[in-house]
Amino acid sequence: MATVIIGSQWGDEGKGKITDYYSKKADYIVRFQGGNNAGHTVVVEDKTFKFRLIPSGAVSGKKVVIGNGTVVDPEILIEEISELEKEGIPVKLYLSERAHVIMPYHKLQDSLEESLKGNLKAGTTGKGIGPCYQDKVGRFGIRFVDLLDKEVFKEKLSLFMSMKEALFRAHNQPFRLTINEVFEAYNKYADYLRKYVTDTSLLVNAALQEGNHVLLEGAQGTHLGIDHGIYPYGTSSNCVAGAACTGAGISPLSIKQVLGIVKAYTTRVGTGPVPTELEDEVGTYLRDRGGEYGTVTGRPRRCGWLDMMLLKYSHRVNGFTGIAITKLDVLNGLETVKVCTHYMVGNNPLYEFPASMKTLAQCNPVYQEFPGWRFDPEQVAKSGFNALPEAAKKYINFISHQLAVPVYVVSVGPARHQTLILREVFS
Ligand code: IMP
């Protein structure tokens, strides 16, 4: 059976830690969208791992898959493989032959386009994600199956690089890449990665048929997705449960559980309206206590109160069977904790998340207030859910009732053991 883990907000919900927990019970862990714009931090004992491409489950020595729906920077992937090997962790990686390759010109194009977009820029991670997906959809992409065939690769590279050169020339921008240099460098990557490249859809389907547990690890979050996110400020892939089917090459019928990861408050790294953003000392409190700085870019994240409008929309398009609430401990010590239940646009209440960014920018959050709490994460980790203060339990139950979705996990600290498991996804 397959379980999908999805970020319910703007990414950075703490998916890595939850995936890491469930990956211990899974046989395969699969990435199905995004690329090295993602950043997962996993803390194991005193060691912190920061992954961008490889599924977090790799730390547990599990079989990990990078599916066809991803875009992969081979240089970064090789770095991550080497890092794991240095730690003595065996890398059981399968890379889809259909995944698209991020090329050096994609990264240049990423910053060129950001500079041209003015107020519409997303504040991208600059990793070439958008341009690589553009080329995929435009059918100018290079897949791993192409990269591994020198002849095909050379033909495509020559054609596409001259198109890119023309693009840069049209904008009076320098384009210092040469076909030969890129060809040489990428041939080396191809030789290194060749042994990992395969038909991962075949592999994952066979695994499912044999009764294995497959964990599909979403990157970013629902509200960053190309269809359901804050367009045009989000990313270029779909970040919802449905994308797991196209991005891993499996049937929707094989997905039995969809676990939504809900950070106990809101964060956003990048541009665009964030209705519950706090530009005051509470926002700073959340940022400092939560270590809210981008894993990939190091940028400070914009912080604010939990927003049920985001979560309700996420639940609608993902169909969560359960939720995991993360970083509850970060709210420790606040006198009052607020949750946005709906928005006001002028004098009109709004109960569904708007598609228009103009409207979103005009939304004023309406809050329900909760008394704050303080707990010792270590003690709660030892004694379990019931050891949480009543106020914290009330907060958790409110979220669960609003969505009518059970809580599977509550994370009360960054360490692996500071995770309260209320329900398992794999029986
Ligand atoms: P891109 O994915 O690099 O094109 O960036 C597009 C937008 O998505 C930017 O606002 C990024 O900050 C945001 N973004 C991309 N990946 C992540 C992530 O993993 N977590 C949070 N924000 C992300």
pLDDT at 298: 84
pLDDT at 41: 73
Question: 288: Cβ–Cβ under 8 A, 6 or more apart, which residues?
Answer: none
160-169 pLDDT, tens digit each:
999 999 999 9
Q: What is the mean pLDDT of residues 87-115?
A: 96
Pairing of strands 92-96, 63-66: parallel
- Which residue carries 């386009």 as its tokens? 113
Given ligand 1 and candidates 224, 263, 266, which is best to mutate, with the most ligand atoms within 8 Å of its CB?
224
Whole-prediction pTM: 0.95
**227 is an active site residue:** no
Same domain, 173 and 236: no
Atom of ligand 1 nearest to the CA of 219: 19
Q: What is the mean pLDDT of the chain?
A: 95
pLDDT at 57: 81
Output the CA–CA distances (angstroms, integers) from residue 244 to 57, 251, 426, in the order listed: 17, 9, 18
Atom of ligand 1 nearest to the CA of 125: 3
199-246 pLDDT, tens digit each:
999 999 999 999 999 999 999 999 999 999 999 999 999 999 999 999
- Which residue carries 């840069």 as its tokens? 168
Dist. CA 10 → ligand 1 center (Å)? 8
- Which residue carries 């389907």 as its tokens? 205
Q: What is the mean pLDDT of residues 186-190?
A: 98
The Cα 376–Cα 392 span in angstroms is 12
Ligand 1: lining residues by beta carbon, under 6 Å? 11-12, 37-39, 122-125, 127, 129-130, 219-220, 224, 233-236, 269-270
Atom of ligand 1 nearest to the CA of 269: 12
- Which residue carries 């997905």 as its tokens? 255
Same domain, 187 and 203: no
1-14 pLDDT, tens digit each:
999 999 999 999 99
Q: Total structural domains in the chain?
A: 2
Protein residue closest via CA to atom 10 of ligand 1:
270
The Cα 50–Cα 17 span in angstroms is 11
Q: For residue 116, what are the domain limits?
A: 100-195
Catalytic residue (one of 20, 27, 40, 401):
40
Residue 426 domain flag? no
Domain end position, chosen among 195, 211, 230? 195
Same domain, 246 and 355: yes
Given ligand 1 and candidates 8, 125, 263, which is best to mutate, with the most ligand atoms within 8 Å of its CB?
125
Residue 427 domain flag? no
Same domain, 189 and 203: no
Give the relative orientation of helices 129-138 and 104-117 as an angle to the nearest 10 degrees.
100
Q: Which residue has the higher pLDDT, 61 or 43?
A: 61
**40 is an active site residue:** yes
| pLDDT over threshold 90, residue 16 | no
Domain end position, chosen among 178, 195, 212? 195
Give the relative orientation of helices 179-193 and 150-170 as an angle to the nearest 10 degrees.
140
The CATH number linked to 177 is: 1.10.300.10
Atom of ligand 1 nearest to the CA of 224: 8
272-327 pLDDT, tens digit each:
999 999 999 999 999 999 999 987 778 899 999 999 999 999 999 999 999 999 99
